Amino acid sequence: MFELVFMKVMNRCLLLFCLWLGAGVAGARAQTTCASPNQPACTFTAIDVATNQPVDAFCVGRPVRFVQCAGRSTPSSLLFYGVLPGTGNTFFPSCIPPNRFDYQYTPTRAEVGSVTVSELANAVAGGSAPSTYYVRTFRVYDNAPPAFTVAPCPSNSALVTVTDAVYDSYTVRVGAGPAQPIARNRPTVVSVPAGATAVTVTGLYLGTDICTGEATQTIAPLLPPQVPVLSRLSLQGPLPGGAATLTLGQLPAGYTYTLQRADGSAAGGFRDVASVPANSSSFTLANAGAGCYRLRRADPCELAVAFSPLVCTVGLTGSSTQNRNQLLLSDAGTASTYSVTRNNIPLGAFNVIAGGLEDPNVECGTTYTYRVTATQPGGGTSVSNEVSITTQSTLPPAQPRLLASFNLRNVVELTPLLANGLVLAPGSSLRYRRTAAGQMPADFRTASSSGVQRDSTAIAELLAQTPCYSVRLLDVCGNASPESLAACPSLLTATTADPTGTTATLAWTAFRGPSATAPAVYTIQRIRPDGTVLSSIAVADSSFTDLTPPTDRQVLRYRLQIGGAGLPPGTFSYSNVATVVRQPAVTLPTAFTPNGDGLNDVLEVKGRYLQNYTFLVVDRNGQVVFRSTQRTETWDGTINGRAPVPGTYAWRFQQQNEDGKPFTATGSVSILK
């Protein structure tokens, strides 16, 4: 029944509305709003659904409904409502709000600002009141949680900073304590009562109290404070303007860290230079200036402050004259000790001069890179900028030394020992000369590097010549060094009195090294074919007889290891490898008796220097009846598991000797009953 009555009412309303709309077509063509003219002071009211109280503003997410003002009596079934963003906007041209009288409107964050609410009251059929279209503008407020930060501080306090820009004013509350006003963008220290773990900030509007926003953050625990560490300051370029890299430590989170430089004109005697992130282990300061630096630690409330010990910059400049490189220091502090590196290697020998130091062990035309490290009174270190100096001079280079030695292939190798290391400057050269017995020195080779030079002359010819070598350095500046002392490798010979090689006699020529006065120290090495050492014997004079050579080696190999004679510690010269080839022998019986009596029951190979061999026994038909490759394999006379057959059998022995030559022996053996 209700539905039928309702449909009749709706049909009548629509008919009346169409008549009203038709009557106003001419006027509608000229207007762009549906609002009725001469709107009374109170048309309809917005009611907050939660409190059932009238409101003049809306809040995001908080529903409202609409009712007629007192004195209006339009049936609710003829009322329609709608909301549009902006001011004065209506549902033109239809002028029909989409919602019935019981409509509840819930603002969204997208609608923050002004909205216009429309009310259409349809005329009652037969009545005297016409249809009306009323509008009201309301403001929608946002209730988003206000943005703020909270940082823990010592002494039961915290620093709260409201960064929000939505609300007109704010309050802050710690734990369950009272709320107190707090200004936007003004860091405020608040007390934290015992047991309180959170801070709540509330945002308020001046125009309404229906809409507020609230946010809560937990107060993180403050890590224990540590004294910041500035352990190293390294300049990457000259000052002023070069970058500096700092090595840092003990920077726990929760504190602020500021790099400061000493400045008498600044408050407190130090000027802030840069902010350093917490937990940093290194930091690069661009455009650094000369001075003494420290790291300042402060909690957010500035209640407890600490400083690292000072580390002061050490600037470095350099020049060269007459084969001496001079380094001048600009120390902003008072370092305790200094150390120097040249080409990244510690420089142990240098001269102290006014304002710096001098490196005399350099070669003209060579570029050297220096750095100075200063130990600071507070324990830190300061590393200077790098300085590269190309040595200039008209003085002759230092006399080089020369090491002559043989490699395992019996090739002479010449190694120059330069006063300033193994690197030869580009444009410099080494001039080698060679002297053979009874001959005048002759140019041997010119090298543009300090690498090993080799003499490919055959060992037999070298043994006859007993050569010596020398070298001099011509630097890039055109200065020639004195020629080195003659370097003569030791030449070794080895002989034996009999083919079995039960002893070996060794003799050698004297070694001449970088020093003409320091004695040479000789050691005989017995070596394997791959050059590894079997054993060593310290010897003197120029000969030695080996009475106990290895019994399992067909070829005896010897060489001399030579130290002393002015060679650097741990550096040795080696003679050529001298060999003694011993004749192998194989011994077999002419007969054996495989009858099980324990006497002469098997045929076994015996002899000396036997290895990697093949031993065959064949019968009268040429069939192989036994084969072995090592001494542990013996023949008991059986053939394919059958009993021994008395008779005569031929054998053949063959092996490849250590010297690469084949060795073969043949014979026969008889099986007796």
Q: How far apart are CA 105 and CA 354, in angstroms?
A: 88
Tokens 């023949």 -> residue: 635
**Rounded-to-integer distance, Cα 658 and Cα 660, Å:** 5
Q: Is the pLDDT of residue 422 over 70?
A: no
Identify the DSSP state of 241: T
Extract the tokens encoding 665: 């022996």
Residue in the block written with tokens 């550096």: 571
pLDDT of 485 reads 95
Would you say 414 and 454 are in contact if contact means Cβ atoms under 8 Å apart? yes
Q: How confident is the model at residue 409 (pLDDT cuts 50, 70, 90)?
A: very high
Instruction: Please give the full DSSP string across 122-164, using - where no structure is assigned.
Output: PPPTT-SPPPEEEEEEEEEEP-PPPPEEEEEETTTEEEEEE--
Residue range 89-116: mean pLDDT, rounded = 96
Where is average pLDDT lowest: 24-28, 373-377, 495-499, 591-595? 24-28
Q: What is the pLDDT of residue 125?
A: 58
Report residue 31's pLDDT band, with 50, 70 and 90 as the boundaries. Answer: low
Which three-class secondary structure state does DSSP give residue 3?
Answer: helix
The C-alpha angle with vertex 572 and arms to 571 and 574, in degrees rounded to 5, equals 155
Cβ atoms of residues 351 and 358 within 8 Å: yes
- Host H or E run for residue 203: strand 198-204
144: CB partners within 8 A, 6+ apart: 60, 109, 166, 213
pLDDT for res 577:
97
- The residues facing 432 across adjacent strands are 445, 471
Q: For residue 67, is pLDDT > 90?
A: yes
Q: Does residue 123 register a pLDDT over 90?
A: no
Check: CB of residue 504 under 8 Å from CB of residue 545: yes
- Report the range of poorest mean pLDDT among 38-52, 123-137, 182-196, 536-550: 123-137
Q: 541 or 87: whose pLDDT is higher? A: 87
Looking at residue 126, its pLDDT comes to: 55
Q: Quote the DSSP letter at residue 540.
A: -
Q: How confident is the model at residue 15 (pLDDT cuts 50, 70, 90)?
A: very low
The pairing of strands 157-162 and 148-153 is antiparallel
Residues in the chain: 673
- Rounded distance between C-alpha atoms, residue 627 and residue 634, angstroms: 9
List the structure tokens of 469: 């070598």
Residue 613 pLDDT = 94
pLDDT at 527 over 80: yes
CA distance 630 to 634: 9
647 close to 620: Cβ distance less than 8 angstroms: yes
- Surface-to-core class of residue 175, CB atoms within 10 Å of its CB (0-12 exposed, 13-18 middle, 19+ buried): middle
pLDDT at 21: 39
Phi, psi of 53 (to 5 degrees): -115, 150
Q: Where are the alpha helices (DSSP H) in 362-508?
A: 459-465
Q: Which residue has the tokens 């005989």?
A: 524
Q: If pLDDT is split at 50, 70 and 90, which confidence band does 129 have?
A: low
The answer to whether residue 594 scores a pLDDT higher than 90 is yes
Q: In the structure, what pLDDT confidence band is assigned to residue 32 with cuts at 50, 70 and 90?
A: confident
Does residue 22 register a pLDDT over 60?
Answer: no
Q: By C-alpha distance, which of 366, 484, 330, 350 is closest to 414?
A: 484
Q: How far is residue 602's CA from residue 586's CA, in Å, rounded to a whole number? A: 16
292-298 vs 311-312, strand pairing mode: antiparallel
497-519 mean pLDDT: 91
For residue 539 the two structure tokens come to: 């010897």
pTM of the model: 0.54
Q: Which of 355-369, 400-414, 553-567 bottoms out in mean pLDDT, i.e. has the lowest? A: 355-369
Indicate whether 275 pLDDT > 50.
Answer: yes
- Say whether pLDDT at 635 is over 90: yes
pLDDT at 500: 80
* pLDDT on residue 127: 55
103 vs 43: CA distance, rounded Å: 17
Q: What is the pLDDT of residues 344-355, one digit of tens each?
A: 999 988 899 998
Average model confidence (pLDDT) for the chain?
91
> 363-367, 533-537, 553-557, 627-631 — which is least confidently predicted?
363-367
| 414, 452 Cβ separation under 8 angstroms | yes
Span between the terminal Cα atoms of the chain, in Å: 140
> In this structure, are strands 188-191 and 169-174 parallel, antiparallel, or unpaired?
unpaired
| Contact by Cβ (8 Å): 373, 339 | yes
Would you say residue 543 has pLDDT above 70?
yes
Residues 6+ apart with CB under 8 A from 229: 248, 249, 250, 295, 308
Could you tell me the two tokens for 142? Answer: 């946002």
CB atoms within 10 A of CB 467: 22
Q: Is the per-residue pLDDT at 99 higher than 60?
A: yes
On whether the CB atoms of residues 543 and 504 are closer than 8 A, the answer is no
With 70 as the cut, is the pLDDT of residue 486 above it? Answer: yes
Residue 420 has pLDDT above 90, yes or no: no
Share of the chain above pLDDT 90, in %: 78
Q: Contact, 40 vs 96, CB < 8 A?
A: no
HSE-up (13 A, CA, CB side) for residue 321: 3
Q: Exposed/middle/buried for 309, CB within 10 Å: 0-12, 13-18, 19+?
A: middle
CB 384 within 8 A of CB 400: no
Structure tokens at 657: 């000797």
Q: Where are the beta strands (DSSP E) in 528-587?
A: 533-539, 543-546, 555-564, 573-574, 578-581, 585-587
Radius of gyration for the chain, computed over Cα atoms and rounded to the nearest angstrom? 53
Q: Is 270 left (phi over 0), alpha (psi -120 to 50) or beta?
A: beta
pLDDT band, residue 124 (cuts 50/70/90): low
For 238-274, how does the pLDDT look when each residue is reduced to its tens digit (9 = 90+)? 999 999 999 999 999 999 999 999 999 999 999 999 9
Q: Which two tokens stand for residue 396?
A: 């002759």
